[in-house]
Structure 1
Amino acid sequence: MAEVLFYHLQRQPVEAVLPALLLRSLERGWRVVVEAGDEQRMAALDDHLWTFSDDSFLPHGSAREPDIASQPVALVCEPGNPNAANVRFLVYGARTPDDLAGWERVVLMFDGADETALATAREDWRKVKALGADATYWQQNDQGRWEKKA
């Protein structure tokens, strides 16, 4: 069963944190799916990943493209695994899947300043624990570093 990581964002938005985590995943040889809560957010994330750094390139594609299966990072708005990924990132309100089989890691990122996002993350935490998955909770400290809280 997948290892599930909850990332409580406090000091930086998803756009600032996600690219580094995606690059790290690719360095480990993993393929990745990033599920956004809606089409508009997925499109904005697609644009951002092309321009987030002047000295780095993050190969990716969106579910709108015919060659999505060949992409190391696939951006989607629905369940599924179009590129045979090992890791699934959930952002902008995307929910933890009911079935964690087939994933090595599932990462749920949520905005700590958004009460709705916090409540949803708490629901997903309870669901993941009820499924018997290994779940950890990470929160940014004042320096922007991640601290394991649970």
Structure 2
Amino acid sequence: MSVDVLFYHLLHQPLESALPKLLLKCLERDWKVVVQTGTPERCAALDAHLWTFSGDSFLPHGTREDGYAELQPVYLTDGPDNPNGAEVRFLIDRATPPPLQGYQRAVYMFDGNDPDALADARALWKTVKAEGFNLTYWQQTDSGGWERKA
């Protein structure tokens, strides 16, 4: 089975607003998810944020420190691990992708207002395309939704 690799170009809302919505969609589909951050500090900050991002809901998730990694519907890490057997891998903060075989989807989210992040996303697009993955590119709309561009 080929992996679908989705690029999400953040323009108008920060990752902290966009990511929880996408994670909730994955959980609605009964997909386990692993979110790979660029640093341990970002992983800890995201962990705190996902408990409080909304006044009326939260995202069930865990980290290595929480234990029971295999039971977490959303697992946060700063490394290549996948202890919950996730079907979907999110890569944020310019995290280095591990091998993507074995996932149904890989989602690379990048800040379009950061020239370095944009350059990294373009380079990763070329690499992933050359490896033969199915690619789609989504650009954030003014309202925070997504429009497919490629």
TM-score, length of structure 1 as denominator length = 0.95
1:19 aligns with 2:20: yes
Counterparts of 2:144 and 2:55, CA distance in 1: 22
Q: What does residue 77 of structure 1 align with?
A: 78
Q: Does 1:45 align with 2:46?
A: yes
Task: Specify the alignment match of 2:131 in structure 1.
Answer: 131
* Deviation at residue 2 of structure 1 after TM alignment: 1.0
Distance 1:145 1:69 in 2: 31
Match runs of 1:1-150 below 5 Å: 1-97=2-98, 99-150=99-150
Aligned residues: 149
State the secondary structure of the residue aligned to 2:109: strand
- Which amino acid is the alignment partner of residue 118 of structure 2? L
Alpha-carbon spacing, 1:143–1:69, altered in 2? closer, same or farther (3 Å): same
- Aligned-residue identity in percent: 57
Q: Do 1:95 and 1:124's aligned partners in 2 also have CA atoms closer than 8 Å? A: no
Shift of 1:130: 0.7
> How many angstroms apart in 1 are the aligned matches of 2:64 and 2:11?
29
**Unmatched 5+ stretches in structure 1:** none
Indicate the RMSD between aligned Cα atoms, in angstroms.
Answer: 1.0
User: Which amino acid in structure 2 is aligned with residue 55 of structure 1?
Assistant: D
Q: Partners of 2:141 and 2:33 in 1: how far apart? A: 26
Describe the superposition over 1:59-83 as per-residue Cα deviations: whole angstroms up to 9, x where unpaired: 1001223211111000000112110
Counterparts of 1:63 and 1:5, CA distance in 2:
26
Distance in 2, Cα, partners of 1:90 & 1:66: 22
Equivalent position amino acid for 1:85 in 2: A
Distance in 2 between residues matched to 1:68 and 1:110, nearest whole Å? 26
CA drift at 1:101: 1.0
Preserved CA contact (<8 Å) 1:10 1:112: yes
